Chain A
Amino acid sequence: MKLTLWTYEGPPHIGAMRIATAMEGVHYVLHAPQGDTYADLLFTMIERMNKRPPVTYTTFQARDLGGDTAELFKDAARSAYARFKPDLLMVGASCTAELIQDDPGGLAAALQLSVPVLPLELPAYQKKENWGAAETFYQMVRLLGKDYVLSPGEKRKPRPAGLPPSCNILGPTALGFRHRDDLVEIRKLLRQIGVRVNVVAPLGAKPEDISRLHEADFNVVLYPEVANSAAQWLSKNFGQPSTKTIPIGFNATRAFIEEVCTLAQIHCDIDELTKRSRARWYALSVDSTYLTNKRVFIFGDATHAIAAAKVASQEMGFQVVGLGTYSRELAREVREAASQYGIEALITDDYLEVEQRITELQPELILGSQMERHIAKRLKIPCAVISAPIHVQDFPARYSPQMGFEGANVLFDTWVHPLMMGLEEHLIGMFREDFEFHDGAAPSHLGHGHQRTPANEANVASEPTPVPEVAVANGAPVTESVWEPEAQKELNKIPFFVRGKAKRNTERFAIERGLSTISLETLYDAKAHFGR
């Protein structure tokens, strides 16, 4: 049992729903109690989809439990089939139905419907949403691809001369963070490179498209969390290699193009493709100097977190002070990435642990999911969202990819936007006592809603904690230092967006030196010690 305030991922059947809902011609019969129909709102409200997810819930009740819940399942499957006429029927159980062990797969098979049935076993008490999506996709690719599998030893036939190289794009789902827009961007890029897209899956694919996956020369894996296991199976059984680079950021997009060209065995002029990108020039322009070494904390799914860290450090000039993920499946990759920044990765799905780490680190910018957005709001730290889980505002009406060159432009804008502009930052530092240009002033381009009021200022982490006078016993190690009023006043003159850090550093400095009080001098000694 685990105490959980907020979860990063839903249960695994939500992952299966993301696959079914992304596709066409698929219906999912889910053995589940009525409350589980809440999942529909993820799609209809959060993603603002204009149709219901293709899911029939059996909605059994307590009074059915003694009787025949299996019969109930069969009825639901039969009528869903009759009403929706899908090309593929997915069947499975949610957490409660897993306990009553009705075997949806067996029951559906017994109905002898004239349609392929994909039975899903997604252990709800062990696994989570992304795993469920990956497993569902993998099982589907296997079921619909098995007739085309190469026999042992058989080599993939070379592409006939004259035909352009082709690939599948794997991974985009319903409820994915910017999947819809990433797809547009990557399709465009592939067209420019000269690679034909055979099938995109699961988003927009029909079951018959899934059975055509083997026709492509290679696979482009955009979201490894969802597509890795399917891609591995395709590689093993059809000899299709897949891309490893995730085209998030300017550099990664270039590397992605190179990788695609290698797999497709073609040549393309990367510099030409790069020309319309603005992100790199914007980052080089003098106005961006103030971004140098801004301390950033990054948390999200593994793919987005790793990519964001690279962009933050190599393309924005930030300093990555924290990096973590809730995707335990890809923990190793995130640990490796973190070690490049000399930090230890935070691998957890415990929201409280993430909050704790952020509070300790006092970063100047947080890149995270909607959970971190809330932490940021509470701690008054600027934040941008880079990963699921996400909320309705993260499905913007405008085109807003994360991948490709346009994606890099979007990253630049959305990460810089929450910050105070450079010159503004300086002026606030200089004229701290100006009554209209005070500490509470928000970045001027963010307008009224972001006003820092004295009320919401009350629990800002950066305020010095009033520590009761402690008489320090001789020789006892100092564990807390008290701010002298003068020093505290000076601390308040430091702009709020770096004050938390200054406070923490000073206190650490004082404690390490056994100082029970912090004077004006201690503050400046610490400043000199840590530098920036």
Chain B
Amino acid sequence: MNRVIPLQSAAAACDSQDRAILKERGQREVFCGLTGIIWLHRKIQDAFFLVVGSRTCAHLVQSAAGVMIFAEPRFATAIIDDHDLAGLADANEELDRVVDQLLTRRPDIKMLFLVGSCPSEVIKLDLSRAAERLSKTYTPRVRILNYSGSGIETTFTQGEDACLAALAKEIPRHAQDHPAQREVDLLIVGCLADVVEDQFSRIFNELGIESYAFFPPRRSGDIPCLGPNTRYLLVQPFLTETARVLDDMGAKRIPAPFPLGVEGTEGWFAAAAKAFGIDPNHVEKVIAPKRQRANLALERQRQVLNGRSIFFFPDSQLEIPLARFLHRELGMQLTEIGMPYIHRQHLAEELALLPAEVSLSEGQDVEKQLDRCRNYRPDMVVCGLGLANPLEAEGMTTKWSIELVFTPIQGFDQAADLAELFARPLVRRTKFAA
């Protein structure tokens, strides 16, 4: 099937090596890594996240979670107080007491993450030692891991990376030593909505890749096993640390664009298929009907988005793949793409698909960036929750990025949903203008 917007040839885009990136250092307006808990605690269904932090940390998670009190959350904060600051020995004792209280309350929990914060790091409360110590007490009932979601170390989605990196260290190697676990050829790494996982499973099966597993697993006991030739495929562009852990364990990353939009999803599956030596004709046979259906669904959103300009504030770290999708498949004009940080290696395939003239920025100086945004007067701004309403009040149309990590957006059948998330605010504006 022919695309309505012809694919711009990759030659027209420029190579990531010679691309200038504006690096900024100033006020950042991005959540810290604790935020990831909000989706992680729903993803791994028998895990609990205990932030060891301050009242600020508790308030952040609560505010970012909105009013999700429809069920008892599988996260909480051990709020540090004056006494804990007075002596670390006591702080450790206190932590043990809180963990005991928590695990007594929630006997269903099989995995506990101790999540470090800025205060716990500044006072050098060693959570990895705490996790070791507590593991001795609670093994085999509960596995206790730790990672940092602190704002001095991590931004927003980096919290997922830190969590998965900690979990990845738990992946056993060689099934013969771990008969309970399955050795897999392919590990698919990064949180996906359940519905997307199920779709992806069907496609992998159709392609003929059968030995695969998603990571993180839905239940902590289902962690797969790495074989000598296991490869992994990232679904998110922010999994730097997790990838490093897997590399160190001998797994090989399959370089690929990210599965956002039709093109990204196709490239992602194609990369996997190629790595496993699957006949390209067979791949085309599997992908073609899905591509066709997805393109059909994208058509309506393309009418809305084509030719509109868009500006990205750094936030979810999904900015580059999103920009690539919105530009190449929906015809949007890119102004500036801000990212908290740019991992050139993981984004190489993505960067190659971006047009030369777009400006990229890394880090943030929010006031200056707001000035640039106002100068561009883009048709749409992608930003965090703190900026969205004030920009709307200035007459701009915004899409808040936190929604993008809460919504099933990956894969062929979600491509149009993803586009619709961007089309909706524009459609809404025109309704009011009428």
Chain A residues proximal to chain B, CB less than 8 Å? 1-7, 9-11, 13-14, 33-42, 44-46, 48-52, 56-62, 64-65, 76, 79, 83, 94-96, 99-100, 123-126, 128, 370-371, 374, 377-378, 391
Contacts and interface: CB of A to CB of B under 8 A. Distances in A.
Interface of B: 26-35, 52, 54-60, 62-64, 66-67, 69-70, 72-73, 76-82, 84-85, 91, 94-95, 97-98, 101-102, 118-119, 121-123, 150-153, 155, 367, 384-390, 392-393
Contacts of A123: 82
A6 B62 contact: yes
Chain A CB within 10 A, most for which of B55, B59, B385: B55
B31 A37 contact: yes
Contacts of A377: 69-70
A35 B101 contact: no
Contacts of A6: 58, 62, 69
Contacts of B155: 34
B398 to A, nearest CB: 11
A52 B66 CA distance: 19
A245 to B, nearest CB: 32
A60 B122 contact: no
B387 A96 contact: no
Contact of A125 (B54, B118, B388, B392): B54
Contact of B151 (A5, A11, A33): A33
A125 B119 CA distance: 10
A1 B118 contact: no
Contact of A38 (B31, B80, B122): B31
Given A3-B101, A44-B385, A99-B122, A34 B63 contact: no
B101 A62 contact: no
Contact of B81 (A58, A65, A126): A126
B79 A4 contact: yes
15 contacts: A4-B77, A6-B58, A6-B69, A10-B59, A38-B385, A44-B387, A50-B389, A62-B150, A95-B56, A99-B85, A124-B55, A125-B84, A126-B81, A371-B69, A374-B67
Nearest to A51: B390
A48 B385 CA distance: 11
B36 to A, nearest CB: 11
Contacts of B91: 1
A38 B386 CA distance: 7
Given A3-B101, A62-B121, A10 B55 contact: yes
A42 B63 contact: yes
Given A44-B389, A374-B67, A65 B122 contact: yes
Contacts of B76: 3-5
A41 B70 CA distance: 21
A34 B54 contact: no
Given A14-B59, A45-B389, A391-B67, A1 B122 contact: no
Contacts of B73: 5
Contact of B28 (A2, A37, A48): A37
A36 B151 contact: yes
A46 B102 CA distance: 30
A123 B55 CA distance: 11
Contact of A62 (B27, B60, B152, B367): B152
B27 A125 contact: no
Contact of B79 (A2, A58, A94, A374): A2
Given A3-B76, A35-B34, A370-B67, A41 B27 contact: no
Given A36-B56, A57-B27, A62-B153, A96 B386 contact: no
A29 to B, nearest CB: 10
A197 to B, nearest CB: 28
Given A5-B76, A38-B386, A50-B390, A59 B118 contact: no
B50 to A, nearest CB: 8
Given A36-B56, A99-B119, A41 B77 contact: no
A63 to B, nearest CB: 8
- The residue in B72, B77, B153, B386 that gathers the most chain A C-beta atoms within 10 A of its C-beta is B386
Given A3-B102, A37-B31, A60 B80 contact: no
Contact of B60 (A1, A36, A49): A36
A96 B390 contact: no
Contacts of B151: 33-36, 59, 96
Contacts of B385: 38, 40-41, 44-45
Given A11-B55, A100-B122, A37 B67 contact: no
A58 B118 CA distance: 14
B123 A44 contact: no
A10 B56 contact: yes
Contacts of A50: 389-390, 392-393
B254 to A, nearest CB: 31
B59 A11 contact: yes
Contacts of B54: 11, 95-96, 124-125
Contact of A1 (B28, B31, B33, B95): B95
B191 to A, nearest CB: 20
Given A50-B390, A52-B390, A40 B55 contact: no
A355 to B, nearest CB: 10
A13 B54 CA distance: 12
A391 B67 CA distance: 8
B56 A1 contact: no
Nearest to B389: A44
A1 B81 contact: yes
Instruction: Identify which of A3, A7, A46, A76 gathers the most chain B CB atoms within 10 Å of its CB.
Output: A3
Contacts of A3: 76-78, 98, 101-102
Nearest to A123: B82
A78 to B, nearest CB: 12
B72 A5 contact: yes
A227 B148 CA distance: 39
The 3 lowest CB-CB distance pairs between A and B, nearest first, are A35-B32, A35-B151, A40-B386
Contact of B118 (A2, A33, A44, A79): A33
A52 B386 contact: yes
A11 B79 CA distance: 11
A35 B118 CA distance: 9
B72 A51 contact: no
B72 A99 contact: no
Contact of B55 (A42, A48, A95): A95
